[in-house]
Amino acid sequence: MKILVIEDDKTTGAYIADGLRQEGHVVDLIDNGADGLVQATVGTYDVIVIDRMLPGLDGLSVVKTLRGARNLSPVLLLTALGGVNDRIEGLNAGADDYLVKPFAFGELSARINALGRRPQMSDAPVTLRARDLEVDLLTRKVTRAGQTIDLLPREFALLEHLLRRKGRVQTRTMLLESVWDIHFDPQTNVVETHISRLRAKVDKPFDKELITTVRGAGYRIDAE
């Protein structure tokens, strides 16, 4: 595979690049975000590895700019920030995977190989729909009946989760694990609160409701 590594720490960058080259990959190594963005734009890569904390243009900004420009190369984000919210922020920015430093090279290699095996996406926007609601996963634009709806990152993730599983009830536990990466009951109404906020934006201003409460079970967006 042809891989672009954007890492400002010279020791870490060389460690990654040398290891990948020993495995037979072609690797370009860039040490800052601005030059890395240019290289990612002019080159064609099977996988792009980006450090989150880069001088000048940070890793999240690089990922967002690439996705906004319809660059669909799989992105693995490297970071020393390992909190749940940090991982969610990175994935919501458009990264495909997230690896926390320090890491074992074997795991890095396995994740890169997994990303490289994914089917290549076309240049056409990936859009989720339900009735008159449309969600563009690349531009993260949400519209209903032609009206733009502004969602916060967690609201967007919640709507995307429900749309990808149209017709299937999603329990509170499922939503906590998928949208919040919480694998225990936090004894809060975080799911209910976000469902209410999402409804206020995508349902209440319009004639028909999309989000259905299934009493005693969870929530669902009905299939067409």
Instruction: Quick: pLDDT tens for 105-126.
Output: 999 999 998 888 776 554 444 7
Q: What is the mean pLDDT of residues 24-40?
A: 91
Q: What is the pLDDT of residues 35-77, one digit of tens each?
A: 999 999 888 888 999 999 898 899 999 999 998 888 888 999 9
Nearby residues of 70 by Cβ (< 8 Å), 6 or more positions away:
123, 125, 138
Q: What is the pLDDT of residues 139-161, one digit of tens each?
A: 789 999 999 999 988 899 899 88
Tell me if the pTM is above 0.85: no
All domains in the chain, ordered by first residue: 2-117 (3.40.50.2300), 127-221 (1.10.10.10)
Helices 153-164 and 190-202: crossing angle in degrees, nearest 10, is: 80
* Percent of the chain whose predicted confidence (pLDDT) is above 70: 96
The CA R_g of the chain, rounded to the nearest whole Å, is 19
